[in-house]
Structure 1
Amino acid sequence: MSRELIAAALEAADRGWRVFPLTPRGKYPLRNFTAWEQHATTDPDRIRRCWARQPYNIGIACGPSRLVVIDLDQPKPGQTPPPRWDLPGVNDGADVLAVLCEHAGQPLPFDTFTVTTRRGGRHLYFTAPHGATLGNTSGDKGNGLGWLIDTRARGGYVVGPGSYVALRDGAGAYTVTKPTPPAPLPAWLAERLTAPPPTPASTTPPVALDRLDRARLSRYGHAALTGEVERVAGAPRGTRNRALNLAAWKLGKLIARGVLPREVVEHALHGAAEAANAQGDPNSPREIAAVITAGITAGMRT
């Protein structure tokens, strides 16, 4: 398996895409490899040395690779479309994209490098437009494209072809099904994915505790939560996930001791992460929630 993964990682690097290791049979960066966007590489020797250790899956850092990847997902068992997308013939992310193309009077952008994902979805690879900095989107949120469509660009990564992921919600390989070079991202999609200019950040990061029941918190718990929330809200670009994970880990220890209620911590940290997003290059809600959950869980186990 390692040989095949080494070959797949080298093939991606040969295309100019920067790669980094993901957990074996998983889709997340290694715990000690938090700066994956900075350390992703195309160096063949580094790739061979890294993947010779374990059969790591392959992560492709989209920003440094100048890629925008549109992830067309399949619904999970029992998942139904929201009212906006509850339309005849709309069953998955590809159908949603087809509706968007029809409304925009544009052709389907399927003539590009394509990877079939583990649950039967598709990753459409495009070259990033010059002069524009696109971030990540999730579903309908923000400037996202719609139900079951995520996009990954600067600050995001995708599981690369050659990987095999086995998780509770499905197992399977990531396989190249159209090896043509990535096409330029269509201008109309680039326009839709471009976030509006961020509002000026406040000199004092907002503390997202306004709607919480403060009576439930001890003085010590309130002080600890407020301090961590302020650090997360003020974290600069490139450090946000690390700051959020560290804060969740610290507060997770207090949750385990009964000092703080978990739902209060989750609400406050999510609000702080959204406040940090206002400074530009936002992290997606799904990514924020995953980092918070992982940090709290690790803290509670400590």
Structure 2
Amino acid sequence: MTTTRSGARAAEVAEAALACAARRWHVFPLRPRDKRPLARFTDWEAHATTDPARIRAFWERGPAFNAAVACGPSGLVVIDLDTPKPGQTPPPEWDKPGVNDGADVLAVLAERHGEPFPLDTFTVTTRRGGTHLYFTAPSGAELRNTSGRHATGLGWLIDTRAAGGYVVAPGSFVDLPDGTGPYRIANDAAPAPLPEWLARLLTAPRPASPLGAPPIAGTVADLPAYVQAALKGEAARVTSAVAGGRNHALNKAAYNLGRLTGAGALDTDTAATVLFEAAAVHFGPTSADVTPAEARATIRSALAAGARNPRTITRGNPA
């Protein structure tokens, strides 16, 4: 009986994955009853597919793998409206009457901008009662992931997934300590273009780091711009990392910046602070999240490792 149920679930998710592929959305497998990619799908964005034959062949193997949609290759921006976990309360800026979840925050944002709530688009209800709103990405925009836990996000309990991100596909069933349930289509409309007002918010200049420009050693004229570009790039690596790869991304980013500190091009405190601020996007209570203590330990050890292998920076060629 268990095998039969598992086979039926695999067939159900396969059909859901095929339906996504028919929309030209790139899909890949997740662990059974989980949100994480399979261990061998670490490069999931490159391997996500719309090929029906590959999809059928994979899900016929069993067990009942879940499915995910890779947003970047699919040309999608997904607005994830979450619900609070037990004991979770809004930050002061969102502690207002009637604001209880991510949908309420988006409604407030829409009202502030004189726009309607963006309902008429492909919509999925999530396992904990939240909502995924699917939109087509604006042409030419470089949108990446954001988190409601970070100042660069749209607001409390609103995450976005775009290039470098994925969402659990409809038809999947997730059973984790912070919530159990299916992902179901609530509105089977075609994805609408991302509303211009949301695109503006997601592409607006981000708040400057309170650190200001990092202290730079050396006399190479173009070194400050290069170091700041490196800081920005490594911070983006950390903020856009997905569950299962967040500590790896933080470790790699810290190692790369550590090589600059070892070369005397960047001071360690600035590198550590920028990386910690980037990692804060992923701080949370679940096993897929990162804790502040873990982030500090990873940053400290990887910066030290990078400093032991300093970069050679030559005049006119800082790369």
After TM superposition, the score normalised by the length of structure 1 is 0.72
Q: SS of the counterpart of 1:16?
A: coil
2:39 paired residue number: 31
Map 1:261-276; keep pairs closer than 5 Å. 271=273, 273=275
Q: Does 1:182 align with 2:191?
A: yes
Aligned counterpart in structure 1 of residue 248 of structure 2, from 225, 245, 249: 245
Unmatched 5+ residue regions in structure 1?
Answer: 207-231, 250-266, 278-282
Quick one: distance in 1 between partners of 2:58 and 2:271? Answer: 34
Quick one: distance in 1 between partners of 2:239 and 2:94? Answer: 34
Q: 1:65 to 1:271 in 2, by over 3 A?
A: farther
Q: Does 1:91 align with 2:116?
A: no
Quick one: distance in 2 between partners of 1:92 and 1:235? Answer: 28
The question of whether the paired residues in 2 share the 8 Å contact of 1:245 and 1:291 is answered with: no
Aligned counterpart in structure 2 of residue 286 of structure 1, from 258, 282, 285: 282
Quick one: distance in 2 between partners of 1:87 and 1:247? Answer: 34
Q: Does 1:202 align with 2:212?
A: no
The question of whether the paired residues in 1 share the 8 Å contact of 2:146 and 2:240 is answered with: no
One-letter amino acid matched to 1:285: V
CA displacement at 1:142 relative to structure 2? 3.4
Q: Does 1:156 align with 2:181?
A: no
1:137 paired residue number: 146
Unmatched 5+ residue regions in structure 2?
Answer: 1-8, 214-224, 253-268, 299-319
CA displacement at 1:236 relative to structure 2? 11
What do you get for the CA RMSD once the two structures are aligned? 3.7
1:2 paired residue number: 10
Quick one: distance in 2 between partners of 1:165 and 1:2? Answer: 14
Q: 1:36 to 1:7 in 2, by over 3 A?
A: same
The question of whether the paired residues in 1 share the 8 Å contact of 2:67 and 2:168 is answered with: yes
CA displacement at 1:134 relative to structure 2? 0.3
Quick one: distance in 2 between partners of 1:151 and 1:204? Answer: 24
Equivalenced residues, count: 249
1:191 paired residue number: 200
Quick one: distance in 1 between partners of 2:103 and 2:227? Answer: 40
CA displacement at 1:292 relative to structure 2? 5.7
Quick one: distance in 1 between partners of 2:251 and 2:106? Answer: 35
The question of whether the paired residues in 2 share the 8 Å contact of 1:244 and 1:291 is answered with: no
Quick one: distance in 2 between partners of 1:11 and 1:285? Answer: 32
Q: Does 1:170 align with 2:166?
A: no
After TM superposition, the score normalised by the length of structure 2 is 0.68
Quick one: distance in 1 between partners of 2:74 and 2:115? Answer: 26
Q: SS of the counterpart of 1:64?
A: helix
Quick one: distance in 1 between partners of 2:241 and 2:81? Answer: 28
Aligned counterpart in structure 1 of residue 131 of structure 2, from 112, 122, 147: 122
1:108 paired residue number: 117
Q: 1:242 to 1:174 in 2, by over 3 A?
A: closer
1:153-195, Cα deviation, whole Å (9 max, x unpaired): 0000000000000000110000001000000000010010115
Quick one: distance in 2 between partners of 1:160 and 1:114? Answer: 11
2:86 paired residue number: 77
Quick one: distance in 1 between partners of 2:15 and 2:194? Answer: 27
1:43 paired residue number: 51
Q: Does 1:55 align with 2:51?
A: no
One-letter amino acid matched to 1:245: H
The question of whether the paired residues in 1 share the 8 Å contact of 2:134 and 2:191 is answered with: yes
